[in-house]
Amino acid sequence: MPIQRIIIQGKVPVKIYTDDVDSPAVKQLVNIAQLPFIHSHVAAMPDVHVGIGATVGAVIPTKGAIIPAAVGVDIGCGMVATRLSLTASQLPDNLRPLRTAIEAAVPVGFAMHPNGPGVPASAVHALSGGLDRIVHKHPGILKMQKNSERTWAQQLGTLGGGNHFIELCLDENQDVWVMLHSGSRGIGNVIGRYFIELARKDMGQHLANLPDRDLAYLQEGAAHFDDYVTAVQWAQDYAMTNRREMMRLILDALMRQLPPFTLTREAINCHHNYVTVERHFGEDLFITRKGAIRAGVGDLGIIPGSMGAKSYIVRGKGEPESFCSCSHGAGRRMSRGQAKKKFDQQDLIDQTVGVECRKDSGVLDEIPGAYKPIDEVMANQSDLVEVVHTLKQVVCVKG
């Protein structure tokens, strides 16, 4: 569907691909649209919902400045998926051992690889030099995380918690897929928080002129702008590597549990919390996608539903008004606290029938009912992407 709503209260319009947007999210979008360096307009995807400072599901084009809080603290968070040469009939009747094997191979929640990095030394080495250069100029980053010098390496190839997950899925042809959602773990979090605070300090008294202090920005040419660009790119590379290494660990574990298989599709590995330079409307711009993926012509992407709903492999249509973007998932319809108040453990069991997953109160805030209906989200972005595959999970691992 085309743009559903246009808001014009800011200095530039906000173009929204859904009618399902609440007033706090609208307020955040208007706040962003008031900033002097926003180019053309702000685009809001069908999964749009309130975030910290900037709305989740927002695509923010800027000229000469970046808002660290809009990029967020899970820098480079995203998805990876690959298809196996197996079909549903080759999976065991009891899927619990598969979930157990994945959980044994990939630390989840706050856990990390206990005895040093759980990934090849080459993966750690490729990242270590860049981090050393960043923390040499900003040693305060390492002070924000316990044992940060070794923790970042031990967390490489780990899932994290919250809405991060690992799934085995079946597509419309009953082919088996592995899909996972994760980001830059603790090191990305401290880098994000460090530069958000640094942006506030650098703005000094001008911070009071912003509609929200979480929209503090770093201007191109200013003292810490290039340092942030370097740090955020490193964190995005870390997140990409983290997903790739987790996928390797998962496939190794599955090879010990399932009939012999190969990969029939190269892994799709895409960010949905990141900033990059792209050309739109005749200008080179910083494009911040906060809960959105790139959907240029032919780009393959992954749009997950909740832990009880369908997910999609999509191909971008390159819609200019969305800055060649689409949603990153279903999007929350209620906060984690609201979900815990509204639903109970039996609701979770009922809403995840047929899925081998945790069904305890510890993941109640991830219940499918806390999310927008994924079918509605997909219908609202038919102008942005076409569906290549429809997936339904049979195993879901949560942190």
Q: Read out DSSP for 330-374?
A: S-BSS-HHHHHHH--HHHHHHHTTT-BS--SGGGGGG-GGGB--H
User: Which pLDDT value is given to residue 265?
Assistant: 87
Rounded CA-CA distance 141/70 in Å is 19
Which amino acid type is present at position 337? G
Annotated binding residue at 163?
yes
**What are 314's strand-pairing partners?**
301, 387
| Domain definitions of the chain by residue range | 5-298
For the chain, how many residues are written? Answer: 399
Burial 187-212 (b: 16+ CB within 10 A, else e): bbbbbbbbbbebbbebbeeeeeebbe
User: What is the DSSP track for 271-306?
Assistant: ESEEEEEEEETTEEEEEEEESEEE--TT-EEEE---
Collapsing DSSP states into helix, strand and coil, what is residue 58? strand
In sequence order, the 6+-apart residues with CB closer than 8 A to the CB of 201 are none
Do the beta carbons of residue 54 and residue 67 sit within 8 Å?
A: yes
Q: Which of these, 35, 84, 337, 352, lies nearest to 215 by C-alpha position?
A: 35
- Residue 164 marked in a binding site: yes
The predicted structure's pLDDT at residue 116: 87
Q: How much is the pLDDT for 149?
A: 87
- Greatest pairwise CA separation for the chain in angstroms: 64
Q: Which of 49, 224, 328, 389 is catalytic?
A: 328
pLDDT at 261: 98
Amino acid letter for position 188: G
Short-list 87, 94, 53, CA closest to 70: 53
Those residues with Cβ within 8 angstroms of residue 238's Cβ, 6 or more apart along the chain or in another chain: 76, 127, 152, 156, 184, 185, 187, 188
pLDDT recorded at residue 190? 97
Q: What is the pLDDT of residue 1?
A: 83
Q: Residue 391, exposed/middle/buried by CB under 10 A (0-12, 13-18, 19+)?
A: buried
Cβ-based neighbours of 228, under 8 Å, separated by 6 or more: 66, 68, 195, 198, 199, 218
Annotated binding-site residue? 39: no
Helical packing angle, 185-203 and 225-255, nearest 10°: 170
Report pLDDT for 342. Answer: 96
What is the chain's pLDDT, residue by residue, as a tens digit (399 residues)?
Answer: 899 999 999 999 999 999 999 999 999 999 999 999 999 999 999 999 999 889 999 999 999 999 999 999 999 999 999 999 999 999 999 999 999 999 999 999 999 999 889 899 999 999 999 999 999 999 999 999 989 889 999 999 999 999 999 999 999 999 999 999 999 999 999 999 999 999 999 999 999 999 999 999 999 999 999 999 999 999 999 999 999 999 999 999 999 999 999 999 889 999 999 999 999 999 999 999 999 999 999 999 999 999 999 999 999 999 999 999 999 999 999 999 999 999 999 999 999 999 999 999 999 999 999 999 999 999 999 999 999 999 999 999 998
- Is 61 within 8 Å of 156 (Cβ atoms)? no
Would the annotation count 305 as a binding residue? yes
In angstroms, the Cα distances linking 201 to 194, 207, 227, 324 are 11, 8, 15, 33
DSSP-assigned letter for residue 4 = -
Q: Please give the pLDDT value at position 317.
A: 98
- 232 in helix, strand or coil? helix
Token digits of residue 186: 């603790």
For 224, half-sphere exposure in the C-beta direction (CA atoms, 13 angstrom radius) is 23
β-bridge mates for residue 280, sequence order = 283
Identify the DSSP state of 97.
H
Residue 141 CA: distances (Å) to CA of 190, 222, 285, 320: 6, 20, 28, 37
Active site residue 328: yes
Architecture of domain 5-298: Alpha-Beta Complex (3.90)
In this structure, how many other beta carbons lie within 10 angstroms of the beta carbon of residue 133?
Answer: 14
Is 306 annotated in a binding site? The answer is: yes
Question: What does the block give as tokens for 26?
Answer: 């609208």
| 376 is an annotated ligand-binding site residue | no
